[in-house]
Structure 1
Amino acid sequence: MAKKDTEIYCRCIALGMTPAQALSEAGYKTDKPDSVRRQHDNLQKRAPIQNRIKELKQYFDENPHLAKPIIEPDDTKPAVQKQLSAKEYLLQTLNDVGQEPKLRLQAAMALLPYEEAKIAPKGKKEDAKDVAKTATTTGKFATMDYQADFFGVMN
């Protein structure tokens, strides 16, 4: 094997890892399932890779004490996180006490449209209805119910 990443992939497959785990350990991008499937299929089609996987499986069967993961987990390597939406990222930044106050304030301002609803402006028709309704309660155009209150007549 000439390339280090394909050798790591072959060892991981020989050890029984899933294709996604093997590709991830070998340094391939595994963010999309279609990409993982396509990369795995392309690697499995190559005869030298198939032969190397068979050799490694046979070697690990003969030497079971050597059949352990090639790459030890690294504590310095961050764990894979799910993709955050913009709102989730801003909330996380806002709630992180360790962040700079200026950055937290900017996150709060960016979150404002998500949290507080903007009052929609009234249209011409709605405004005209409100003016007509106000006119029926006051002045000389008031309806009989309101005029009776105006003159002090009780029903």
Structure 2
Amino acid sequence: MTEQGTKSGIDRRTIVKGAAWAVPVVAAATAVPMASASVPADPADVAVTVFGQSGQLSRGIETHLIDENFQPVPFPEGTTLTITVTSVDGGTITNPSVTGATPNGSSQDGDVYTFNYIVPPGETSVTFKGDVTGTVIIQATYTGPFGTLSSDPVTVTGA
């Protein structure tokens, strides 16, 4: 989403990315009943948290749609997720898996791997894992009734 005007303070993506690298974290994703909160028509952003040390993807990355208060919001009906993994100097990802979504095809075009998922309505997070060799850059893009929202790219280095 694009806003006109001058922004002051720290960008919310900077806060999320900084917190992701500060300390290894164990995440517990909790499904929120659909009746407990209304789904905003326009989520504010996508948050990505990397779990593991030194950017290793063995414990996964967790993605959310978030509101203006940085809180996860339930995915509305018709939401899809595309995880784009770009190789850096021959980096690779193998054995990709996901929790919280259903695989809907994948492809590779040169150094770019694309993994597509269908996200069930009401879910509040999706975790993507894989075995990374070398360095890759990962970006999450959600598409749904709210439009298209993409995370900042995250660099992950594996064995």
TM-score exceeds 0.5: no
- Normalising by structure 1, we get a TM-score of 0.19
Structure showing greater radius of gyration is 1
Looking at secondary structure, tell me which structure has more strand per residue: 2
Higher relative contact order (CA 8 A, sep 6+): 2
- Normalising by structure 2, we get a TM-score of 0.19
